[in-house]
Amino acid sequence: MDISFVILVEMLYAIASLVLISAGLAVVFGMMKVINLAHGEFMMMGGYATITAVQLGVNVFIAMLIVAPLVVGVIGLIVERLVIRHLYGRLVDTMLATWGLSLVFIGLATMIFGNTTTGISTPIPGFAVGDYQINGYNFFIIVVAILLVVLMYAVLKGTRAGLIARGTMQRSDMAAALGYSPDRIYMATFFCGSALSGLAGAILAPLVGLVPTSGGAYIAKAFITVIAGGPSLIAGLVSSATSFGFVSQVFTFAISPVIGEVALLVAAVILLRLMPQGITSRFFKGKL
Amino acid sequence: MSLKRREFLGAGAAALATASLLPRAALAADTIKLGSILDTSGIFDAYGKPMDQATRLAVADINAAGGLLGRQVEIIDYDTQSDMALYSQYAQKLTRQDRVDVVHGGILSASREAIRQTMRKTDTLYFYNVQYEGGVCDRNIFVTGVTPTQQVEVLVPYAMKKSGPKVYILAADYNYGQITARWIQKFVEENGGEVVATDFFPLDVSDFGSTITKIQQASPDLVVAPLVGGAHLSFFRQWAAAGMNTKIPLASTTMGVGNEHKVLTSAEGDGIMVAYNYSQELDTPENKAFKEKWKAAYGDTTGIHELAVSTYQGIMLWAEGVKKAGSLEHDAVVEALESGISIVGPAGNIAIDPQTHHAILDVHIMEVEDQKMKVVETLNQVAPVDTQAVCNLQENPDDNMQYEIEI
């Protein structure tokens, strides 16, 4: 009984962390079609922003939920103005440019913070479920992921800004004809995407030892999740994170963590073979 | 614009020409040349930089004491930038162009194997001063770092005595982790215990949530974790976050080599058991003097780690060998080093094992306490029994390979 509860929590946690890792990329790549190879580095910078803020005496939750997204969002804004905005619609060029950016960010982080592992400890203590100890922070990650999905849905579906953003991504010429500046809207959307990446990096920071090259560990998973999700932003994100999180945890518990990772990749290959356009090209069609 | 570029090119060429003259001028002086080849930039610089500082400190010490054979020692160093391809290139340069008398360096096993044959072919004496998986058998190389048995043989019985016979192993998934895990299993069984499970993790795995649950399902008395690198540091953090650090004792053969215990908070790290050749907390006159010299040269002592001390001791052992041989001639120095030479370094007495060219050294069992390594027990002069099982350079002086040690 206890063990099934613990495994359920671990599974939800795995799904929630995939959602967090991929949310920023879902906006930048899924919505805006910018292949952001520096996504992992945006997360890494979110982590460093959190750790630096905590060391300066900021409350850890404020650092994670407010400071890090703002800092990374602003960095994203600068990057968008200087580089990305010249490259909209040029997939290969953005790949090259953002890959270069990722190297620059790694280099800068190494110069500023040094090539050593840093970190902060988790702000929530563990607790016991029957004979088992659970990491209390897992619940925090699950809650944040749920709130994030609800918030994204509410903003995109329920607000005028969300409607304008979605419209512009589909037909920027029509949006322009209606009097909205696609340039501004792209900028704002990229800011949001970057901020989400920063948030993910910040939330995961207390769980890992952070080094300037940490971003590389997330990038593959984020792209797999977003691509397998397909055209619908939120339904795709949630459905693919759920499938991959479920598959990898089942194999992790049944066999070993390495097989769990392998199973995730195999699942992705099979899924994309059966549904090349992603899950939401077949299921949840037309949903957001 | 074109004029500017031409000017620039001209100036550059002139600078290059002068730069290439410099080593020639240095060659003319009658110094002993010590080659150093380390990653002082790139992803391994956390290991390489303190090793480079230790090299400079050791040579400064030797020169301050009047040099060797009445000559000063000069360092010729190359930064391999954490790039394995540069190792072979700079090894060629050191041996054929600079014609150094000895080479100290290499960090990863891959880097050592990249340059070992070059050193051997050119009869250049080579010191590898790093903790590694053991098994290298080559008369031209001397290894001053600890091998897995030197740690595990000491650590496992101690940790089992403190906890119990059921052991869970978590190891990094490459040759060091695989080999170390097998040694842990062997010593656990020899001490009457049982390994309930072994899990291997690729170096980029940073999520250990499910593993921690699996460990609890197996409910071992002790977890031994030879995990490597920044991503794996997450395990110690998540272990503590789940509140497990007060439930099941933890031992490691790698935690602390890159000063990881200073990254973890004391609440997270306290109580983790490790075994190394060196701890900054060692209370010996040699260590105090070493730390003071380090502080005078580099400002503070936070950078000193196991590998830096191994490097310092490696150079001192080489110097002792040269003194004893009374010459720099390759075979004479090797024979002097094989005569059971030893020095007292910052980490205690360290001797060369003639049979394997590895080090016989003191191993200290330590527990992390308040971000420091508190020494709880010292075992004097532990031999590298893993490498001794496969390598005998006295009987087989022409041996030249790295054995996979069967257990």
pLDDT digits 0-9 by tens, B203-228: 878 889 889 999 999 999 999 999 98
The DSSP symbol for B71 reads B
**What is the ipTM metric for this complex?**
0.83
The mean pLDDT value for A59-75 works out to 96
Do residues B271 and B291 share a domain?
no
Same domain as B154, residue B197: yes
Domain of residue B209, residue span: 149-276
CATH number at residue B339: 3.40.50.2300
Phi, psi of A115 (to 5 degrees): -90, 45
The Cα–Cα gap between A241 and A223 comes to 11
At B8 the pLDDT is 52
In this prediction, residue B259 carries a pLDDT of 79
Q: With respect to residue B210, please indicate whether it lies within any of the assigned structural domains.
A: yes
| Dihedrals phi, psi of B104, to nearest 5 degrees | -115, 135
Q: Name the E strands within B54-184.
A: 73-79, 102-105, 125-128, 136-138, 141-143, 166-172
pLDDT of residue B6: 53
Nearest to B169 by CA among B203, B207, B218, B209: B218
At B55-90, the pLDDT tens digits run 999 999 999 999 999 999 999 999 998 888 999 999
Residue numbers in A near B207 (CB within 8 A): 14, 17, 207
Q: Which residues, at least 6 apart from B11, have a Cβ–Cβ distance to it below 8 Å?
A: none
Cβ distance of A117 and B260 shorter than 8 Å: yes
Residues B115, B208 within the same domain: no
* pLDDT score, position A149: 96
B211 in A contact zone (CB under 8 Å): yes
Per-residue pLDDT tens for B326-379?
999 999 999 999 998 999 999 999 999 999 999 999 999 999 999 999 999 999
Handedness of CA B335, B337, B338, B342 (dihedral sign): positive
Which range (B1-5, B96-100, B354-358) has the least confidence?
B1-5
Instruction: Kindly report, residue by residue over A129-142, the tens digit of the pLDDT.
Output: 888 888 889 999 99
Confidence class of residue B21 from pLDDT cuts 50, 70 and 90? very low
* For chain B, counts of helices (H) and of strands (E): 13, 16
The string of pLDDT tens digits covering residues B238-270 is: 999 899 999 999 999 988 887 788 888 888 999
Same domain, B141 and B74: yes
Residue B395 buriedness (CB in 10 A; 0-12 / 13-18 / 19+): exposed
Picking from A152, A127, A151, the residue whose alpha carbon sits closest to that of residue A140 is A127
Q: Which secondary-structure segment (H or E) carries B362? A: strand B359-369
pLDDT above 80 (res A1): no
| Residues B220 and B326 occupy one common structural domain | no
In total, how many domains does chain B have? Answer: 2
Determine the number of helices (DSSP H) and then strands (DSSP E) in chain A: 12, 2
Do B286 and B396 lie in one domain? The reply is yes
What pLDDT score was predicted for residue A207?
A: 87
Please state, as a whole number, how many other Cβ atoms lie within 10 Å of the Cβ of residue A162: 16
By CB atoms closer than 10 A (0-12, 13-18, 19+), residue A87 is: middle
Q: Which residues pair with A135 in a beta bridge?
A: none
Q: Which residue of B has its CA nearest to A117?
A: B230
Quote the DSSP letter at residue B326.
Answer: T
pLDDT of A217:
86
Mean pLDDT of B300-314: 93
| 3-class DSSP assignment, residue B349 | strand
Across chain B, what does the average pLDDT equal? Answer: 89
Which DSSP helix (H) or strand (E) runs through B401? strand B400-402
Rounded average pLDDT over A203-220: 89
CB A25 within 8 A of CB A222: yes
Distance CA B88, CA A288 (A): 55
Domain boundary among B276, B311, B341: B276
Q: In which band, very low, low, confident or very high, does the pLDDT at B7 lie, cut at 50, 70 and 90?
A: low
SS3 assignment, position B125: strand
pLDDT exceeds 70 at position B29: no
**Contact check, Cβ <8 Å, B216/A216:** no
Contact state of B205 with A257 under an 8 Å Cβ cutoff:
yes
Q: Which amino acid is at A69?
A: P
One-letter amino acid for residue B28 of the chain: A
Q: Is the CB of B209 less than 8 angstroms away from the CB of A210?
A: no
Q: Do B322 and B262 have their domain in common?
A: no
Which domain, by its residues, includes A206? 2-212
Task: Indicate if the pLDDT at residue B105 is higher than 70.
Answer: yes
Q: What is the pLDDT of residue B22?
A: 46
Residues of B in contact with A134 (CB under 8 A): 242
Contact B216 A210 (CB under 8 A): no
The pLDDT value given to residue A287:
79
Chain A touched by B255 (CB under 8 Å):
no
Tell me the mean pLDDT in the region B388-401. 92
Residue A231 belongs to some domain of the structure: no
The confidence band for A126, taking pLDDT boundaries of 50, 70 and 90, is: confident
Give the number of domains in chain A.
1
In a domain, B407, yes or no: no
Are B201 and A257 a contacting pair at CB < 8 A?
yes
* Residue at a domain's end among B215, B241, B276: B276
Q: From residue A124, how far is each of A120, B243, B333 by CA, in Å?
A: 12, 10, 59
Residue A185 has pLDDT above 90, yes or no: yes
Weakest-pLDDT range from A26-30, A31-35, B203-207, B343-347: B203-207
| Among B276, B307, B339, residue at a domain's last position | B276
What is the nearest CA distance from B129 to chain A, expressed in angstroms? 21
Question: So what's the pLDDT on residue B30?
Answer: 84
**What pLDDT, on a 0 to 100 scale, did the predictor assign at position B19?**
47
The answer as to whether B19 is a domain residue is no
What is residue B23's predicted lDDT score, i.e. its pLDDT?
45
On the question of pLDDT at B273 being above 90, the answer is: yes
Residue of chain B whose Cα is closest to the Cα of A133: B242
